[in-house]
Amino acid sequence: MLVKTKEVAPSVYGITIPTPFLVGPVNVYIIEGERLTLVDTGVKTEEAKRVLEAELLELDYRFSDIELVILTHHHPDHIGLVEEFDHATIASHEKTKPWLEGDQRFFEQKNDFFRELYTAHGVDENIVALIEKSNAYYLKYTSRIGIDVTLSEGDRIEGLPGWSVIETPGHAQSQISLYRERDGVLISGDHLIAHISSNAIIEAPYKGETERPKTLLQYRDSLKKCLHVKRAFSGHGKPVEDPKALIEERLQKQIEKAKAIKNLLGEETLTSFELCKRLYPQMYTKQPGLTLSETLGHLDLLEEMNEVKAVNENSVYRYCKVD
């Protein structure tokens, strides 16, 4: 009899796939439900495809056996190989759609939005160019396919009895987690990661929205929604054995980081980009998108705590302490 060593929880199997990205390998999961389900696919490279094929074979499955693919969010390390499963039902959050479908209008509006945002936050032209180059690089590793089923808060999933959807936006606007009530298991995508704090990446408004979501504030709300989880299986790294403790630590660290940013600001009035350079003097040129998201996210948090305020001078936002 085949011994399934990859079983991480009853009927759930973990597979780790290499990516060319800094984040390292990505975890995808097989759930043996009424329909054989793959949660996330790994990135679109030949190497990732080979590894996924070989690992599935160890479980005695082929790509053609997969009946349902659920994508936890739209990032390329999670959706890249989804084209290989065009025979299966593809399910994800509504906001994964424009990314997977390559919606040109969406991409144009997104680019315009970010140009304006960066100008309003005092970001240098050369850094904007770096961010655009890096975005284009990541998009190479993604797939083009339609979504058959859109998933939202509380949805039960056909073919996966006992599992339901928790919307957990923050890291990505499309981020969902899958929860199994019977044993409190969560497949969390990048919402909860044991060894790194997930970046609450700034995104443009989606269809029907007019303003950018305040992603760190959203992320904190999404963390609080998962305090009851018993065990979480992440998109990267090891399982989270004590989700409540990790969530409380993350929430606390965000407050501490926000306060450190307030101290850095001192009595000055600075743009978020000026603060970003002081916070990440080495990293801001290497990972400009992520470091700006971190800075702006924590400034949003400080504003919400009424610790700093933003003043708009000649269409540029500058932050200062609230007296």
Distance CA 301, CA 248 (A): 16
Stretch that binds Zn ion, among 128-136, 161-169, 228-236, 300-308 (CB under 5 A): 228-236
Q: Which is nearer to Zn ion, 21 or 61 (CB)?
A: 21
Residue choice 190, 274, 294, 300 for contact with Zn ion (CB under 5 A): 190
Stretch that binds Zn ion, among 41-49, 185-193, 205-213, 259-267 (CB under 5 A): 185-193
Minimum distance, C-beta of residue 213 to Zn ion, in the bound complex (Å): 15
Q: Which is nearer to Zn ion, 219 or 317 (CB)?
A: 219
Minimum distance, C-beta of residue 53 to Zn ion, in the bound complex (Å): 21
Minimum distance, C-beta of residue 171 to Zn ion, in the bound complex (Å): 6
Q: Which is nearer to Zn ion, 123 or 192 (CB)?
A: 192
Q: Which is nearer to Zn ion, 77 or 203 (CB)?
A: 77
- Check binding of 274 to Zn ion (CB under 5 A): no
37 bridge partner residues: 31, 68
Site string for Zn ion, 74-103 (x = CB under 5 A): -x-x--------------------------
- 3-state SS track over the chain: CCCCCCEEECCEEEEEECCCCCCCCEEEEEEECCCEEEECCCCCCHHHHHHHHHHHHHCCCCHHHCCEEECCCCCHHHHCCHHHHCCCEEEECHHHHHHHHCCHHHHHHHHHHHHHHHHHCCCCHHHHHHHHHHHHHHHCCCCCCCCCEECCCCCECCCCCCEEEEECCCCCCCCEEEEECCCCEEEEECCCCCCCCCCCCCCCCCCCCCCCCCHHHHHHHHHHCCCCCCEEEECCCCCECCHHHHHHHHHHHHHHHHHHHHHHHCCCCECHHHHHHHHCCCCCCCCHHHHHHHHHHHHHHHHHCCCEEEEEECCEEEEEECC
Q: Which is nearer to Zn ion, 77 or 300 (CB)?
A: 77
Distance CA 28, CA 113 (A): 32
Minimum distance, C-beta of residue 23 to Zn ion, in the bound complex (Å): 6
Minimum distance, C-beta of residue 19 to Zn ion, in the bound complex (Å): 8
Q: Which is nearer to Zn ion, 168 or 271 (CB)?
A: 168
Number of residues that bind Zn ion (CB under 5 A): 4
- b/e per residue 258-290 (b: at least 16 CB within 10 A): beebbeebeeeebbbbbbbbebbeeebeebbbb
Minimum distance, C-beta of residue 163 to Zn ion, in the bound complex (Å): 21
Minimum distance, C-beta of residue 48 to Zn ion, in the bound complex (Å): 13
Stretch that binds Zn ion, among 92-100, 184-192, 208-216, 265-273 (CB under 5 A): 184-192
Q: Which is nearer to Zn ion, 33 or 169 (CB)?
A: 169
Minimum distance, C-beta of residue 142 to Zn ion, in the bound complex (Å): 12
Q: Which is nearer to Zn ion, 79 or 261 (CB)?
A: 79
Site string for Zn ion, 231-250 (x = CB under 5 A): ----x---------------
Binding residues for Zn ion (CB under 5 A): 75, 77, 190, 235
